[in-house]
Amino acid sequence: MSAHKIPLAGVIGYPVAHSKSPRMHGHWLKKYGLEGHYVPLEVKPENLETVLRTLPKAGFVGANVTVPHKEAALEIADVTTDRATLIGAANTLIFREDGKIHADNTDGYGFFENLRRGAPDWDPASGPAVVLGAGGASRAIITSLLSAGVPEILLTNRTRIRADALKQEFGARITVIDWVQAGNVLEDAALVVNTTSLGMVGSPELRLPLDGLSAKTVVTDIVYTPLKTRLLQVAEEAGCHVVDGIGMLIYQGIPGFERWFGQRPEVDEEIRRIMLA
């Protein structure tokens, strides 16, 4: 007879000290009175596979993976969801009873849930989305926007070839715009998303000319330090509906928490406050 086991989960990164996930999952475990623990796991890239194969033997039911392990985790996994495959990276792992590692990517889901709830009147089909940036976050966001039925994505990145590569991969609904031209397409946008690190504390400011923004556009930013970035500030002044980025981080954590600990957590002001503290 196997003894009663307390489920363990954690976030694997290198470094990992900055991660807010332990705080979030710890809060939910306490709030719902669940048995379980969620810990930060600092793992060097060369040890990732060994650690992933070992954790289930130590009582872990799953893990989040963050920088720089997201692509490697997808490679190592035995089973992958379609969205993780499309994005080309994993952020949520489930260690199955049969020993297989199941990899999902909930970043696009987290982005989209935050946007949908923050801007309930925004209709994905209503018009083009301008996406700033072509890195890992952008891949997840583009995937979620395309699957939600956004008719066209105007994609712009400082390094144009990265945007071209995403067009190659994601196809006809993507139009690549030169970084210096980005200000000129804002007017037509139903949605503007910043997926770059620009505007984050410690990073340069997003220097895009924003005077083309009109009040009909929904504007969102994945940067959440500060919560109200210059992009969101200027957009708000232009009368746009704005959605801040902290919710993306919260919503991306929900599918994992539910699978590991058996309870779907609610997103409320309290968790937003805790994550921003």
Q: What residues line the site for ligand ATR (CB under 6 A)?
A: 133-138, 157-159, 162, 195-198, 204
Q: Shortest distance, CB of residue 234 to ligand ATR, whole angstroms?
A: 17
Nearest residue to ligand ATR by CB is 135
19: left (phi over 0), alpha (psi -120 to 50) or beta: beta
Q: Shortest distance, CB of residue 135 to ligand ATR, whole angstroms?
A: 2
> Helices 21-31 and 269-276: crossing angle, nearest 10°?
140
Q: Are 69 and 12 in contact (CB under 8 A)?
A: yes
Residue with Cβ nearer ligand ATR (91 or 217): 91
70 part of the active site: yes
Question: Which position has the token pair 């994992």?
Answer: 256
Residue with Cβ nearer ligand ATR (54 or 203): 203
DSSP string covering 90-118? -SEEEE-TTS-EEEE--HHHHHHHHHHHH
Among candidate residues 70, 167, 216, 228, the one labeled active-site is 70
Question: Which position has the token pair 């994005």?
Answer: 87
Residue with Cβ nearer ligand ATR (29 or 130): 130
Dihedral over Cα of 192, 271, 224, 235: its sign:
positive
Q: Shortest distance, CB of residue 204 to ligand ATR, whole angstroms?
A: 5
- Phi, psi (rounded to 5 degrees) for 100: -80, 145
At 277, list the tokens: 């503290």
Q: Shortest distance, CB of residue 266 to ligand ATR, whole angstroms?
A: 27
Q: Which residues are catalytic?
A: 70
